[in-house]
Amino acid sequence: METALELKGLCHRYGKFQSLDNLNLSLEPGKIYGLLGRNGAGKTTLLNVISGLLFPSQGQALVFGRACYEHPPVQKRLCVVREKAAYPRDLRVREALRLGRMLYPNWDEDYAQSLLETFELNPRKKARQLSRGMVSSLGLVIGLASRADLTIFDEPSLGLDAVARERFYDEVIHDFENHPRTVIISTHLIDEVSRLFEEVVMVDGGRILLKARTDELLSRAVTLTGAKDAVERAIAGHSVLHRDELGGMTIASIVRQPGDDYGDLQVDPVPLQKLFVYLTEGGRL
């Protein structure tokens, strides 16, 4: 099976700083992935290498079996919507769409026009007249309408209010159902968008921390709340991801084990964002 994205021993250095350290990863086509990492974890560098803006110091980043920096035609199958897209100040929204139509063979002009209405963008406005949120919305329109085989959104919600963000999430789901492709969303608003992710890739310190199905990942940990003695008995022998005291109660997030019996304790799932925090702070599943 053709892979949408494959990293083989990928490394990148800025001088003596190792920004990407021996990344190995394979993403199947036709799925929505979440790319999660703290600031400075290497996500932006990784996206720049994937798209051919940076050369790897070692290893390969292959998009549908080809490296963008060696095989420019593969770029027609890749659309990267960047966190801080810089459009020429006098470029009009409609002209940006015209460029998208030229760049992406799968471009859907009718969908693009519909998205302008969804995100309330005036096609006659120039880039310098757009707010931060409008610039982000323009990127979302281009990314969605591109219908590129691999579409990457880097912090797509920057400057968007809650209504616009929900519209974006709904559009991703709806368009994916009708026109499947590979989508990667890199975001810090993890819980808000986690319902979209079929699989999650976590990056930390320039390395792949894990790659897992979202449902399987969430099933591996629980949060227990109750009296201290009861919680301590329940978590004995477990890997504890986090523990806290609140109002005379003990709250502990643990890795589940087969046959666990938590008695009368309150049992809650660990949200993906908290799980991400615990794992990047040294927790292990």
**The two three-digit tokens of residue 181, written as one number:** 């492709």
Task: State percent of the chain over pLDDT 70.
Answer: 100
Q: What angle do CA 271, 276, 280 make, to 5 degrees?
A: 155
Topology of 220-280 in CATH? Alpha-Beta Plaits (3.30.70)
Q: In Å, what is the CA distance from 2 to each residue of 26, 88, 191?
A: 10, 36, 30
Averaged pLDDT of the chain: 94
Provide CATH 3.30.70 ranges for the chain.
220-280
pLDDT for position 158: 87
Q: Give mean pLDDT, residues 50-70.
A: 92
Provide CATH 3.40.50.300 ranges for the chain.
5-216
Domain 5-216 -> CATH class: alpha beta
pLDDT for position 234: 94
* pLDDT tens, position by position, 111-137: 999 999 999 999 999 999 999 999 999
* pLDDT tens, position by position, 3-38: 999 999 999 998 889 999 999 999 999 999 999 999
Query: 236: part of which helix (H) or strand (E)?
Result: none
pLDDT for position 69: 81
247: three-class secondary structure by DSSP: coil
User: Is a pLDDT exceeding 80 seen at residue 84?
Assistant: no
* pLDDT tens, position by position, 208-249: 999 999 999 999 999 999 999 999 999 999 999 999 998 889
Which residue has better confidence, 27 or 2?
Answer: 27
* pTM for the structure as a whole: 0.94
Q: Give mean pLDDT, residues 174-203.
A: 96
Instruction: Give the residue from 194, 254, 144, 265 showing the smallest Cα distance to 34.
Output: 194
Q: Give mean pLDDT, residues 263-271.
A: 95
| pLDDT band at residue 206 under the 50/70/90 scheme | very high
- Residue position matching structure tokens 């009296």: 227
Q: Say if residues 34 and 209 touch (Cβ distance below 8 Å).
A: no
| pLDDT band at residue 91 under the 50/70/90 scheme | very high
The Cβ-side half-sphere exposure at 34, using a 13 Å CA radius, reads 27
